[in-house]
Amino acid sequence: MPPKAKFTRAEIIDAGLAILRKRNMAAVTAREIGHFLGSSPRPIFTVFESMAEVIEGIEQKAREIYSDYIRQGLEQDIAFKGVGKAYIRFSMEEPKLFQLLFMQKRSDEIDIHKILPEIDGNYSAILQSITDQYPVSTEDAVILYRHLWIYSHGIATLCATSMCRFNDEQTEEMLTDVFRALLLEKLKERGKAI
């Protein structure tokens, strides 16, 4: 009969997440999680097969936290702007989680045209927020989203690494200016009036 688990999966993942938030991913070890829980590392392995599985659970939890930010952004009156602001806010409020999800070197290079659906489970909802509120095709929405993500990612990276800090007004102004310029260009290309 296998030993009874001293901690639940959620408790172990939450402990790993707490260590990550305070330090970095390299600090998330079985020994550190055990210490955080007031135990040896052994109980971790009555619940998980390996540390890789624990790390996978931490990454999944980080994605859920990130998705909560994006859902809040999508609920704003101007949903796509809300998403950009939420992305940047996530980088400021959860810098270690942002770094884990969006600043890790990948083993495989992904073409810029395919990166967003690959890294963000909210891709379809975000794309829909553009086509729902602006007179653009899906093709143009993809282009707008990609350009604004690159811009937002730059701002978010500056925030997540503590190189710069922006307040809500600054963030909103920057996102609005760039989006407006890109949207006007797309509408001109299509011969549409605003």
| Domain assignment present for 163 | yes
Mean pLDDT, rounded, for 51-72:
97
Residue 187 has a pLDDT of 83
| Domain assignment present for 89 | yes
**How many domains are there within the chain?**
2
Instruction: Give the helix ranges, DSSP H, for the chain.
Output: 9-22, 30-36, 51-74, 79-93, 95-102, 115-119, 123-133, 138-160, 168-190
pLDDT digits over 109-147, tens only?
788 888 899 999 999 999 999 999 999 999 999 999 999
**CA atoms lying within 13 Å on the CB side of residue 103:** 19
Under the banding of pLDDT at 50, 70 and 90, the label for residue 4 is low
Tell me, yes or no, whether 31 and 120 share the same domain: no
Mean pLDDT, rounded, for 44-49:
93
Quick one: CA dihedral 36, 38, 44, 45, positive or negative?
Answer: positive
Which has the higher per-residue pLDDT, 185 or 72? 72
* Owning domain of residue 24: 9-48
pLDDT surpassing 60 at residue 194 = no
Contacts of 44 (CB under 8 A, 6+ apart): 7, 12, 30, 33, 34, 51, 54
| Domain assignment present for 170 | yes
| Domain assignment present for 176 | yes
Mean residue pLDDT of the chain comes to 92
Mean pLDDT, rounded, for 152-170:
95
Rounded CA separation 180/177 (Å): 5
Under the banding of pLDDT at 50, 70 and 90, the label for residue 70 is very high
pLDDT surpassing 90 at residue 189 = no
Tell me, yes or no, whether 104 and 177 share the same domain: yes
Residue 175 has a pLDDT of 96
Rounded CA separation 184/100 (Å): 35
| Domain assignment present for 70 | no
Quick one: CA dihedral 99, 150, 169, 125, positive or negative?
Answer: negative
Tell me, yes or no, whether 22 and 84 share the same domain: no
Tokens of 89: 């806010």
User: Which residue, among 92, 87, 99, has the nearest Cα to 28 in the 3D structure?
Assistant: 99
Which has the higher per-residue pLDDT, 1 or 190? 190
pLDDT surpassing 60 at residue 59 = yes
Would you say 102 and 156 are in contact if contact means Cβ atoms under 8 Å apart? yes
| Domain assignment present for 84 | yes
pLDDT digits over 91-110, tens only?
999 999 999 999 988 778 78
